[in-house]
Amino acid sequence: MSASTNKYIDPLTDFGFKHLFGGEPNKEIMIAFLNALFEGEKHITDLVYNPTELAGDEREHKKVSFDLLCTGDTGEQFIVEMQRADHDNFEDRCIFYLSRLIHQQKLKSNRHWEVKMKEVFLIAILDFNRKNCLSDHYLQSISLVNTGTGKIFHNGLGFKFLELPKFGKKENELENELDKWVYLLKHMHSLDQIPKYLDKRVFEKIFNIAEMKKLSPEQQFVYDSILQREEDDYSRLKSAERRGIREGIEKGKEEGIEQGLEQGKHETALAIAGKMKEENFDIDKIAGFTALSREEIESL
């Protein structure tokens, strides 16, 4: 089904995910999702969105760019990443992201460690199965544990990997709130109405926001451009697999692990900005949709 005939946007695209989960006016959607994900382990009542770029302390240090970064009402921080394609060293990147977030806390000198660090978590919504994961369950919760006793060593740092391909439940098999969210993420773009099982107001709100007809012309343009880019990347990846070499998305979208995933996102933003300029969109609107600077856009 083409994007133009879908009633709802695909929440697994970069635009769709940020459109539905990344806006301060609609933060109740993110709050409800996180509470379902933590399943009582945490209860978040409010949050604020933070800048998604963190620079290194020195010029040569690697800058990191998250999909979303938010802070809960008790100070805990959540990196939320949407990843459609696997690559080598994915777990390494997740650890690097959390370590950079911890480092940014810059605790003041205190030899008695009277100040407790803020809790930090990375949530990765994955449209693939991780190579090193032996569990068949779609949610993997990772914490620092004592390998001898199995008890948690520190509960203020953790990872949650949501592996969507492992979720195969049908509507009548959904057992809890997290099941409902995962079903929504996987199937929203192919639905033509809100399923009966989604009876909470937050689900009604997310479907309302996701309607294609409610996108502005600029939003529609960005969404279609990203879909086309992702289709091109997927075709390149499959072609590379047939030739038995690692290129495709790793080369075309991510420009290799060494240069980082954010490089691919930046190139996608530049491509979309170029198309929007050709259509004579306002520079400020282009900057708002692509997160590029006016200088970058004007130089295209």
SS3 sequence of the chain: CCHHHCCECCCCCHHHHHHHHCCHHHHHHHHHHHHHHHCCCCCCCCEEECCCEECCCCCCCCCEECCEEEEECCCCEEEEEEECCCCCCHHHHHHHHHHHHHHCCCCCCCCCCCCCCCCEEEEEEECCCCCCCCCCCCEEEEEEECCCCCCEEEEEEEEEEEEHHHCCCCHHHCCCHHHHHHHHHHHHHHCCCCCCCCCCHHHHHHHHHHEHHHCCHHHHHHHHHHHHHHHHHHHHHHHHHHHCCCCCHHHHCCCHHHHCHHHHHHHHHHHHHHHHHHCCCCHHHHHHHHCCCHHHHHCC
Q: What is the pLDDT of residue 202?
A: 94
What integer is the mean pLDDT of 164-171?
94
pLDDT in tens, 227-236: 887 776 656 6
What integer is the mean pLDDT of 181-191?
95
Q: What is the pLDDT of residue 258?
A: 38
What integer is the mean pLDDT of 85-103?
87
Q: What is the pLDDT of residue 239?
A: 61
At what angle are helices 261-278 and 217-243 packed, to 10 degrees? Answer: 130
What integer is the mean pLDDT of 137-146?
94
Confidence of residue 1 (pLDDT cuts 50, 70, 90): very low
Q: What is the pLDDT of residue 267?
A: 77
200-227 burial by CB neighbour count: b if 16+ within 10 A, else e? eebbeebbebbebeebeebbbbbbbbbb
What integer is the mean pLDDT of 276-288?
80
Whether the predicted pLDDT of 257 surpasses 80: no
Whether the predicted pLDDT of 12 surpasses 90: yes
pLDDT, averaged across the chain? 83
CA distances from 65 to 18, 53, 128 (A): 14, 4, 21
In this structure, of 43-47, 57-61, 267-271, the range with the lowest mean pLDDT score is 57-61
Q: What is the pLDDT of residue 226?
A: 82
Give percent of the chain with pLDDT exceeding 90: 45
Whether the predicted pLDDT of 48 surpasses 60: yes
Confidence of residue 59 (pLDDT cuts 50, 70, 90): low
Cα 194 from Cα 206, distance rounded (Å): 10
Q: Between β-strands 120-126 and 77-83, what pairing exists: parallel, antiparallel or unpaired?
A: parallel
If one compares 288 and 93, the residue with the highest pLDDT of the two is 93
pTM of the model: 0.79
Among 66, 31, 33, residue whose Cα is nearest residue 52: 66
10 — phi, psi (to 5°)? -85, 115
Q: What is the pLDDT of residue 243?
A: 61
pLDDT in tens, 232-251: 665 665 565 556 545 444 44
